[in-house]
Amino acid sequence: MGNACCCCTDSAASDPVHTGTTNSYAGTSSKFTSFSQDKSSLEISNGSTPSGTTHRPHSISTSIASLKAFSYNDLKAATRNFRPESFLGEGGFGIVYKGYVDEHTLVPSRPGQGMAIAIKKLKLEGVQGHREWLAEVHYLGALHHPNLVKLIGFCAEDCNRLLVYEYMPRGSLENHLFRKGRHIATMPWETRMRIAVGAAKGLAFLHVAERQVIYRDFKASNILLDNQYNAKLSDFGLAKDGPMGDDTHVSTRIMGTYGYAAPEYLATGHLSARSDVYSFGVVLLEILTGLKTVDNNRPSGEEKLVDWAKPCLDNKRQMKSQNRGPPWKRSWIPLNSCRVLGRGRCKIHG
């Protein structure tokens, strides 16, 4: 199936918080040595998981048992040699393409025929990308839920690292909230709330799993939407196993996206499910207000959405929606809605 490709090991340096958004199909830290296309040899050295813990509910070989091992030539054919017309987006992990395969056999098919898939291709020079690629295989290969994006297969042939997902035709929540254009209409409140509930269900599934998983990168760009606007969490490159036994948190290098990461995690490196809940609260504010989590054009001290929202929650005011579109499509959000949602699902007040 191809020769193994040796990869770099983890460094001791701290990873910075991500300051930009990554592509929604793109991606934990781990020490690993080599891969090959053979499923049996796709392993992590030293018995550690992609999150750096030694206790795990399953091994990499278990994770990939249900995944399709694609050849690189198959994925080239599915995307017409990764032509520009197949391009979907680009993130820190690499470039994402749209391709087509037969729904039953998963062999490449002609464009527009068969089943659409999203193919994420690792940038060869990205060491962190190798770690995130492995984390995606580890978690999405074993975790299955209606509100998690489905990982169909992978390619680990020579030095090529690719992941194959179900295609999400509506793109990301971020696109619908902030990148409106001719082809993206203002999203109705009913749809927004359904997306919020779906994303919450996916997050809750991770937190109550037999072996808790902390997502660590919950943000609007990682919430993908199918044709019916059902929300699915994607990009598990930063996911980490949660604490065990009586432990309340795990200590980890600080990673994530600025504006979404919980302040106590940024200050201490202590990670728990509550860190994800804080990030959920930030996304909920984005959904409610139509404002970005970080905007340097806002007044000093209000650049972060959480800081902007605090006075609205404290002073019994209504929060005006900033959603673009005709005036008759704009609306006001009752303060009580924000307060209930904020206290019930977000960690707005320290």
One digit per residue, pLDDT tens: the chain, 350 residues? 444 444 433 333 334 454 444 455 543 333 322 334 544 444 433 333 444 433 344 555 566 778 999 999 999 999 999 999 999 988 767 899 999 999 999 999 998 899 999 999 987 666 667 788 889 999 999 999 999 999 999 999 988 999 999 999 999 999 999 876 556 667 888 999 999 999 999 999 999 998 899 999 999 999 999 999 999 999 999 999 988 877 778 888 888 888 999 999 999 999 999 999 999 999 999 998 889 999 999 999 889 999 988 887 666 555 555 554 433 344 445 444 554 444 443 333 32
* Residue-range definition of the domain harbouring residue 44: 5-166
CATH number for the domain spanning 323: value is 1.10.510.10
Q: Which residues contact 132 (CB under 8 A, 6 or more apart)?
A: 27, 28, 93, 237, 238
Q: Residue 185, class by beta-carbon neighbours within 10 Å (0-12 exposed, 13-18 middle, 19+ buried)?
A: exposed
Buried b (16+ CB within 10 A) or exposed e, 94-126: bbbbbbbbeeeebebbeeeebebbbbbbbbeee
65: in domain: yes
Label residue 322 exposed, middle or buried (CB < 10 Å: 0-12, 13-18, 19+): exposed
Q: Are residues 189 and 248 in the same domain?
A: yes
The reported pLDDT for the residue numbered 91 is 77
The answer to whether 121 is annotated as binding is: yes
**Measured distance CA(345)–CA(217) in Å, rounded:** 16
Q: What's the pLDDT score for residue 2?
A: 45
Using the structure block, give the residue that is written with the tokens 């169909």.
Answer: 152
Residue 151 sits in the same domain as residue 189: no
Asked which of 166, 198, 218 is the last residue of a domain, the reply is 166
* Cα 311 from Cα 306, distance rounded (Å): 10
Whether 162 and 17 map to the same domain: the answer is: yes
Sign of the C-alpha dihedral computed for residues 339, 341, 344 and 349 taken in this order? negative
Question: In whole angstroms, what is the distance from residue 273 CA to residue 241 CA?
Answer: 10
Same domain, 159 and 199: no
pLDDT at residue 350, as a whole number: 28
Same domain, 253 and 128: no
- 113 and 195 housed in the same domain: no
Does the residue 289 lie in any domain?
yes
Task: Take residue 202 and report the two structure tokens written for it.
Answer: 């996916």
What pLDDT shows up at residue 61?
Answer: 58
Which uninterrupted H or E stretch holds 223? Answer: strand 223-225
CA distances in angstroms from 40 to 4, 43, 58, 121, 287, listed in the order given: 12, 8, 14, 22, 43
Query: Quick check: is 350 in a domain?
Result: no
Please list the alpha-helical segments (H only) found in the chain. Answer: 60-63, 72-78, 127-140, 173-178, 189-207, 263-268, 273-289, 305-314, 335-345
The span from the CA of 111 to the CA of 101, in Å, is 9
Assess whether 64 and 200 both reside in one domain. Answer: no
DSSP collapsed to 3 states, 114-161: CEEEEEEEECCCCHHHHHHHHHHHHHHCCCCCCCECCEEEEECCCCCC
User: What pLDDT is recorded for position 292?
Assistant: 92
CATH of the domain at 146: 3.30.200.20
- β-sheet with 94-101: strand ranges across: 68-69, 151-155, 162-166, 115-122, 94-101, 87-90
- Cα torsion at 267, 268, 269, 275 (round to 10°)? -70
Active site residues: 217
Instruction: DSSP letter for 148, please.
Output: B
Rounded to the nearest 5 degrees, what angle is found at the Cα of 155, between the Cα atoms of 229 and 33? 120
Residue 149, domain member (yes or no)? yes
- Are residue 94 and residue 230 in the same domain, yes or no? no
Split into its structural domains, the chain has a count of 2
Verify that 132 and 179 share a domain, yes or no.
Answer: no
Mark whether 255 and 147 lie in a shared domain.
no
* pLDDT number for residue 130: 79
Domain boundary among 166, 201, 235: 166
Nearest to 289 by CA among 271, 313, 269: 313
Which of 139, 166, 193 terminates a domain? The answer is: 166
Q: Are residues 178 and 104 in the same domain?
A: no
Q: How far apart are CA 293 and CA 307, in angstroms?
A: 10
Per this entry, what is the length of the chain?
A: 350
Residue 130 falls within a domain, yes or no? yes
d(CA 236, CA 134): 10
The separation between the first and the last C-alpha atoms of the chain, rounded to the nearest angstrom, is 53
| C-alpha to C-alpha distance for 105 and 155, rounded to whole angstroms | 16
pLDDT of residue 149: 97
Q: Say yes or no: 139 and 194 in one domain.
A: no
